Amino acid sequence: MHVRLVAVGDRQPPWVSAAFQDYISRLPRHWQFALETIATAKRNKGEPREVAMDAEAAKILARTRPADYVVALDEHGRQSTSTQLAGKLEEWQTVGADLVFVIGGPDGLAGDVLKRANYRWSLSQLTLPHGLARILFAEQLYRAWSLSAGHPYHRE
């Protein structure tokens, strides 16, 4: 299984990139984790936000294959504890497909991406800046893996 994050937003502050990379570097090498960024679509004044969201969706969907297991990070998705997420991660690994996480742009994910998703995961009910969501995703992915692997990173 390979793991990818397809994220809208190709320019992040250095502190976001550093924190994200710190957690990603701890993941198992056999996952061959990859970050694929997509430029944020231009939002034109007076134009419905769906126009930009649909443009981003087309680029996101072009980066997924039919056999991929897609997890959309969506504020309306399911929330879980770290232990529950570790269980989901174990479940997803048994599917035998590559795992693709998706973070949308400033307005979220278009309906086409949500329809394509096999699972919708909410990091929080709070509104998070994109960079912080990326870091939180990376930390929770590492925490879930470390729980599954029996590493002492997670303490209860």
| Domains in the chain: ranges and CATH | 3-149 (3.40.1280.10)
pLDDT digits (tens, 9 = 90+) for 94-124: 888 999 999 999 899 999 999 999 999 999 9
Average pLDDT of span 72-92: 94
Q: Which residue has the higher pLDDT, 109 or 127?
A: 109
Q: Is the pLDDT of residue 79 over 90?
A: yes
pLDDT at residue 150, rounded to an integer: 86
**SS3 (DSSP) at 109:** coil
Q: What is the pLDDT of residue 44?
A: 84
Predicted pLDDT of residue 63 = 96
Global pTM reads 0.93
CA distances for 4 relative to 45, 87, 156, angstroms: 33, 19, 28
pLDDT at 155: 65
Highest mean pLDDT among 44-48, 75-79, 150-154: 75-79
Whole-angstrom Cα Rg for the chain: 15
Angle at 116 between CA 111 and CA 118, to 5 degrees: 120
